[in-house]
A and B are shown apart, each in its own frame.
Chain A
Amino acid sequence: MKRRDMLIGAVSGAAGVAALTAATTHSAFAQAPAGAPAPGAGGTLDRIIKDKKIRVTAEVTSPPFGILDKDNQPDGSEIATSRQLAKDLGVELELVQVTAPQRIPALLAGRADVAISSLSITFDRAKTVMFAPPHGALSIVIAGAKNKQIRNAADLGGKKIGLTRATLEEATVPKMAPQGTNIVMFDDIAATMQAMVSGQVDAAGMSAFAAKSVADRNPKANLENKFTVTTAYYAAAVRPGDFDLLQFLRTWVFLNKNNGVLAGIYKKYTEVALVDLPVL
């Protein structure tokens, strides 16, 4: 009996150690590396080139920037942009799936090296990440059913407005909404869209592209854009201190702006021509 117990103990111990080693050295989904390199050490770009792999955030519930195609593979304008970045760097791309509130935390925690997930440039975000020059533009609208009368910000009072956490709409709409507006927060854009379609909220804030895609896919919901809240440019973001990677991104945006690649990706997924992008 004692020998059998020792054998079972030894096998379980070995299995445990093996499992722990496997879990910490490799995972199908991007996990934190041994630790993001210290800022200013000039390490990230070199590490990416040495490892031949770049990890980029992918938000796949944000049409048309990030979606899952009919084979359940990530696609969308930001995913295509990430693929272009990996191609121009000459490294393999690893997509780190995130929801809107996880885009910046994943970058800061080291689970991704670059965040390319339609992150609009705002003062608050600029305090915690470094933005590359913008490579796209979007506008935030309030969208809702046609029979709801919402012409401007004042009409939001007394209504239930759905927003997604950690997005540009969350940063702008509550500031312009009057007292008495019931703001309802969801964890990702898909849930906000679902709330709008099912009537759980009177209207929702989201990018004009997302609003259009919801309206197209749900004709019975009779959705329309009520008014534009704000417009913004979005850009790739890196951790504070990764200046080498930031400089590469600057150069990368410059080249791909001039050769029309960025405009091509944008037009393909949004069906809208890319506006003139300012330089950051």
Chain B
Amino acid sequence: MKYVFQFGIVRDHLPELLNGAWLTLRLSFGAFALGFVLAVVLAFLRGSGPRPVRLAVGGYVELVRNTPFLVQLFIIYFSLPELGIRMEATTAALIGMSLNFAGYATEILRSGIDAVPKPQIEAGHSLGFSRLEIFRHIIVFQALRTVYPALASQFVLLMLGSSIVAAISAEELTAVTNTLQSTTFRAFEFYFVATGMYLVMALGARAVLHAIYWVVFERGQPARGAWAR
């Protein structure tokens, strides 16, 4: 079938696409920050909390990791209002993405925590460190260094998975692309450009994460980490 490509139409709508991409970036980094902080807390509680707390955290992680992200979003955006909790689509998207990311990040951090050599933790105990102090001074840095590549991959998955929030009307890149292609009927051109934009964002994010790794974990550190060259 002869198809005349009309990328000029995409160029006319570039500001809207860039606005959508900007929201994608804000949602992704925001959810990463919130989810990461939550994951560190949960990972600590999972390892060092009282039994009911450990079970609760485990339950939360399994719930988030074994249900579809779209369903989680629908519950936050469509079902919570029935209980009186109403929020904007963008807020619901941020909360959904943060909670979802925290579920996966907790598991990733847990494996990093387990990888810290036990003798170091025993040394901490024998020096009179509290559990929180052991976590803060001995475990966190080494655990993060070990699992950083996994966390970085999870971040890229988070950013690409942000396209799902279009379903609850958050106007990020995929939502904007859907709207534009449905009004101009230029599906191929718009989806092609959107794919390119996601690619650039994901590769850019990876580069930024690499730089952060180098600054935090390698520069001035004697031991080698997971991404050491």
Inter-chain contacts of B200 with A (CB < 8 A)? none
B167 interface neighbour in A36, A128, A186, Cβ under 8 Å = A186
B130, CB-defined interface residue at 8 Å = no
- Given A38-B1, A186-B169: A105 touches B181 (CB 8 Å cut-off): yes
Number of A-B contacts (CB under 8 A): 69
The answer for the CA separation of A199 and B78 in the assembled complex, in Å, is: 9
Inter-chain contacts of A101 with B (CB < 8 A)? 178, 181-182
B77, B169, B175, B187 pick with most chain A CB within 10 angstroms: B169
Interface of B is mostly: helix
CB distance from B185 to the nearest CB of A (A): 4
- Given A104-B185, A191-B168: A239 touches B89 (CB 8 Å cut-off): no
- Given A184-B89, A199-B86, A200-B81: A171 touches B168 (CB 8 Å cut-off): no
CB distance from A153 to the nearest CB of B (A): 20
The answer for the CA separation of A128 and B82 in the assembled complex, in Å, is: 42
Q: Is the CB of B77 within 8 A of A200?
A: yes
Inter-chain contacts of B89 with A (CB < 8 A)? 184, 200
A187 interface neighbour in B86, B167, B185, Cβ under 8 Å = B167
A219, CB-defined interface residue at 8 Å = no
B79, CB-defined interface residue at 8 Å = yes
CB distance from B219 to the nearest CB of A (A): 43
The answer for the CA separation of A104 and B178 in the assembled complex, in Å, is: 13
Q: Is the CB of B187 within 8 A of A105?
A: yes
Q: Is the CB of B169 within 8 A of A198?
A: no
CB distance from B21 to the nearest CB of A (A): 17
**Closest Cβ neighbor of A199 among chain B residues:** B81
Inter-chain contacts of A79 with B (CB < 8 A)? none
- Given A104-B185, A128-B185, A185-B175: A198 touches B78 (CB 8 Å cut-off): yes
The answer for the CA separation of A239 and B183 in the assembled complex, in Å, is: 17
The answer for the CA separation of A166 and B168 in the assembled complex, in Å, is: 16
Q: 1/0 per position for B171-201, CB-CB distance to A under 8 A?
A: 1000100110111010100000000000000
> Which B57-80 residues have a C-beta within 8 angstroms of A?
74, 77-79
> Which A165-203 residues have a C-beta within 8 angstroms of B?
165-166, 170-171, 184-187, 191, 194-195, 198-200
A110, CB-defined interface residue at 8 Å = yes
- Given A186-B167, A191-B168: A110 touches B1 (CB 8 Å cut-off): yes
A2, CB-defined interface residue at 8 Å = no
A184 interface neighbour in B81, B169, B182, B187, Cβ under 8 Å = B169
Inter-chain contacts of B74 with A (CB < 8 A)? 194
A124, CB-defined interface residue at 8 Å = yes
Q: Is the CB of A165 within 8 A of B179?
A: yes
The answer for the CA separation of A162 and B68 in the assembled complex, in Å, is: 24
A171 interface neighbour in B2, B82, B183, Cβ under 8 Å = B183
B113, CB-defined interface residue at 8 Å = no
A170 interface neighbour in B1, B166, B168, B183, Cβ under 8 Å = B183
The answer for the CA separation of A218 and B175 in the assembled complex, in Å, is: 28
Q: 1/0 per position for A109-133, CB-CB distance to B under 8 A?
A: 1100000000000001101100000
Inter-chain contacts of B86 with A (CB < 8 A)? 198-200
Q: Is the CB of B81 within 8 A of A166?
A: no
A35, CB-defined interface residue at 8 Å = yes
Inter-chain contacts of A110 with B (CB < 8 A)? 1
A-B contacts, 14 of them at CB < 8 A, read A35-B1, A37-B1, A39-B1, A104-B185, A105-B185, A109-B187, A125-B185, A165-B178, A165-B182, A170-B183, A187-B167, A187-B178, A191-B78, A195-B78
- A39-B1, A127-B185, A170-B183 given. 11 additional CB < 8 A pairs? A35-B1, A100-B182, A185-B171, A185-B179, A186-B168, A186-B169, A187-B166, A187-B167, A191-B167, A198-B86, A239-B1
Top 3 nearest A-B pairs by Cβ distance? A166-B182, A198-B81, A101-B182
